[in-house]
Structure 1
Amino acid sequence: MPYEKLNLTAPKPVLSWANHGLGSQETQMAKNVASLPFVFKHLALMPDVHLGKGALVGSVIATQEAIIPAAVGVDIGCGMNALKTPFVAEQLEGKLKKIRLDLEAAVPVGFAENKEIDKAVSNWQGWQQFKDLHDDVQHLAGKASKQLASLGGGNHFLEVCVDTENQVWLMLHSGSRHIGNSLAQSHMRTAKNLAKLTETRLPDADLAYFVAGTPEFAAYWRDLQWAQDYARANREIMMTRFKRIVEKHLAGGKLTKPLLSVNCHHNYAEQEVHFGESVYVTRKGAVRARCEDYGIIPGSMGAKSYIVKGKGNPESYCSCSHGAGRLMSRNKAKDSFTLDDLLAQTAGVECRKDAGVLDEIPAAYKPIEAVMANQADLVEVVATLKQVVCVKG
């Protein structure tokens, strides 16, 4: 059997594709979610599963008539975009540093935002619904405009990669920025306050939920879908900017047609049909992998990444992992490794190699090969990539 049915004595089964046993905190977190009365059929844990807030990162949670805001998380719509270019590796020779510097100048990272607003940003259709969003974010319209087409921080990145066929790919990881975080925090507060008012007993306060048919559920679902669309547009507009920079260096500015383009969320919720029933599926650090769905599973900045196609495995709710998954916390990584370690582990990659990115050192993540081996029944590999340029958030 490709997955393990965990013995957690919870009301609903927990199926795990991880190749490691869960720690006590992880076990409790899985048990907490599996004990909620509205969880459908079973909880699915992906190979890169690790501690999160309320629910494990790497969880796929199908629910009936309810949704848990903290299970979706604060970076609503976080995900990946990858583009296969017509360029080949040889064309990159001598140009990697220039590409990296241009990327760092063109795409704001961390808390930064764009000084000017692109036409593609001002033309985004989502602005028409902004006035309908939660009152708490109405003062953020200007900031949300300036942050559309910006990377963010943490493990968000822009990468130029080369696949095993010598083809050049562009890849990026980003989400819904400050506006998505603010919407999530507002609704999570509402859910917790509701739980207190109704004296709802919960195994963890972070598992406070909304019930379908209530105004609170409707408001969250509306804002969630908007933030997911914002995150997708954020990646698309950034990728257009990224593509132009690479075309400037490799094609003299001439526009090229991508050979393949993939844009997928891995922190989100959707209404889907599974086992013949309509349910709400929350993928907290997981990618949808229905038959023929393309997905992106990145490794750390010194490891391989994979473009995959889904196999539509029903037991995983047609899902797969969203990456390698952290092996240690950011603080532990900073305490455990030195700059010399970072230099050694990112050899051959044009990237920052300073203390500011030490917490993103490859050894802080699980080996991506092991993660991929554990989900052979969930996806097939379409392309194997190795980064040659990496810009971190």
Structure 2
Amino acid sequence: MAKLKLRGKDLKDIGYPQTKAISLALDAMEKYYKKETRPKALAALKDVLTYPDNYLTHDAFSKVAKALLENKHTESRALNTERAPFKIYGEDQIEQGAKDQLYTALTLPVSRKGALMPDGHQGYGLPIGGVLATENAVIPYGVGVDIGCRMCLSIYDIAPSYLEGHKDKYIKILQEHTKFGANEVQKKPSPHDIFDREEFRTIPVVKRLKDRAVQQLGSSGGGNHFVEFGLVEISEEDNDFNVPPGKYVGVLSHSGSRGLGANVAKHYTDLAMKHTPLPKEARHLGWLDLATQEGQEYWLAMNLAGDYASACHHDIHKRIASALGEKPLAIIENHHNFAWKELVDGQELIVHRKGATPAGKNVMGIIPGSMTAPGYIVKGLGNEQSLNSASHGAGRQMSRTVAKRNITHSELHKTLADYGVTLLGAGLDEAPMAYKDITKVMAQQKDLVSLSGTFHPKIVRMDKA
């Protein structure tokens, strides 16, 4: 049998980068495969190139695999020249920076379809309000830092007049039973079976975060997170949550997965950016292949963080219900900053919703306005163009910095008085004027959701200014 003869050009022709991986591969073939046929040798080398992780301990190809992975981690991945299909809602009300971020995301090699909701504004990676479907890949910054950030509404059979007539009582309940920011925690954290989850034992980064997660259960973050009493008006007779049309007292909360989600996001975003380095404009959109260990770890950690966020809300609402001495008629909730496996045009894809509400057919949700504007109880219409999504709120029209610079305390106090809202905490960056008009946002997504009711804030608690 003739001796195998391969040259560097042969390896470049099958896709090998012009690095030391070529010389290492030629050495390996000379040592271990010199009597192999050329087609079989090239097939073996192609397999190493395609799946280097599988060869890290291989007798012949471990050095080749390591060299390939080193190169993969330092060489930027090329973006596609054409965008994946997309749809933008309320385009004339969305800043160009947010649209540009979506356009960049649509050129990722793994992107298949996208959308931008009418509350869209610029963020990191995907814009806030961005929806992106990818194939077998998850983008940590496409999910967001506050993994599983949620809305949760409890509706009580309490006359709305009680909120004004017994305002001090309701203020005291919020002051005593809600906690905000990095340092406030409940004095007696509630036991919860989420802490028995296997992920807290098997995923190193999650394991390190368990003690802090136990402490923070039942608390809310800073920024735009809140717990508030307000007036609920149910308008739809045949609703899915079995509350008759009428006016009620409600408790609405908005918060996420606290330090657990933030640290999971940072850890896996750093990994993704190393594994799939991208050009500068796309660098925050590094992804993890779901066929890899890191991709599977993130997927499990993300789902844990989402479930933890839900547990936090349930604990908050349970404490308030106990203080009220009432049981809610219904609880409605939804989350954003998450990724789901969903069928898109007949193919299973990973749908990222960064600041976008799931709005599949008949899926219930809450879309809040601001501390003086109404929120909406909605039911999804299952619009495939929006990837079964809707806005997650009104969306910012001023950045936090701009809001602090341009809004005065007297303006904020006057607006609160005009709407009869009592505010506990919060800074000027959360003033109602910093947000878009929620009625205009809702008008731009009539094809995405139908309305079942409204929520009008009356006593709002947020983190300290």
TM-score (norm: length of structure 1):
0.89
Name the amino acid aligned to 1:369.
T
CA distance in 1, matches of 2:255, 2:311: 10
CA distance in 1, matches of 2:125, 2:185: 33
CA distance in 2, matches of 1:361, 1:175: 21
| 2:82 maps to 1:13 | no
CA deviation string 1:53-73 (max 9, x = no partner): 011100111111111111101
Partner of 1:79: 150
CA distance in 1, matches of 2:284, 2:360: 29
Q: Which has the higher contact order (CA 8 A, sep 6+)?
A: 1
Partner of 1:160: 229
Residue 296 of structure 1: which of 366, 370, 378 is its match?
Answer: 366
Q: What is the deviation of 1:195?
A: 2.5
Partner of 1:366: 436
Work out whether residues 324 and 368 of structure 1, in 8 Å CA contact, stay in contact via their aligned partners in 2. Answer: yes
Name the amino acid aligned to 2:252.
M
Partner of 2:107: 35
Partner of 1:5: none
CA distance in 1, matches of 2:400, 2:311: 29
Residue 194 of structure 2: which of 99, 122, 125 is its match?
Answer: 125
Name the amino acid aligned to 1:233.
A
CA deviation string 1:29-65 (max 9, x = no partner): 111101012112x211001000010111001111111
Give the count of matched residue pairs.
Answer: 369
Structure 2: where are the runs of 5+ without partners? 1-80, 234-245
Name the amino acid aligned to 2:256.
G
CA distance in 1, matches of 2:431, 2:292: 44
CA deviation string 1:204-246 (max 9, x = no partner): 210111112111111110111111110111111111112223x
CA deviation string 1:83-140 (max 9, x = no partner): 111112122233223312321222211113435344xx32323433243454234333
SS in 1 for 2:460: strand
Residue 174 of structure 1: which of 251, 255, 262 is its match?
Answer: 255
Query: CA separation of 1:213/1:139 partners in 2, compared to 1, >3 Å: closer, same or farther?
Result: closer
Work out whether residues 398 and 435 of structure 2, in 8 Å CA contact, stay in contact via their aligned partners in 1. Answer: yes
SS in 2 for 1:262: strand
Once superposed, what is the RMSD of the aligned Cα atoms?
A: 1.8
Structure 1: where are the runs of 5+ without partners? 1-8, 248-252
Work out whether residues 97 and 121 of structure 2, in 8 Å CA contact, stay in contact via their aligned partners in 1. Answer: no
| 2:222 maps to 1:150 | no
SS in 2 for 1:146: helix
TM-score (norm: length of structure 2):
0.76
Q: What is the deviation of 1:392?
A: 0.9
Partner of 2:20: none
Name the amino acid aligned to 1:178.
G
| 2:376 maps to 1:330 | no
Report which of the two has the higher share of strand.
1
Please list, as runs of the form range in 1=range in 2, the aligned pairs for 1:87-126 lying within 5 A after superposition. 87-118=158-189, 121-126=190-195
CA distance in 2, matches of 1:103, 1:333: 26
| 2:314 maps to 1:243 | no
CA distance in 2, matches of 1:298, 1:282: 20
Please list, as runs of the form range in 1=range in 2, the aligned pairs for 1:277-316 lying within 5 A after superposition. 277-316=347-386
Partner of 1:194: 275
Q: What is the deviation of 1:301?
A: 0.3
Residue 128 of structure 2: which of 53, 57, 60 is its match?
Answer: 57
Query: CA separation of 1:214/1:201 partners in 2, compared to 1, >3 Å: closer, same or farther?
Result: farther
Name the amino acid aligned to 1:109.
F
CA distance in 1, matches of 2:437, 2:90: 12
| 2:434 maps to 1:389 | no
Name the amino acid aligned to 2:297.
A
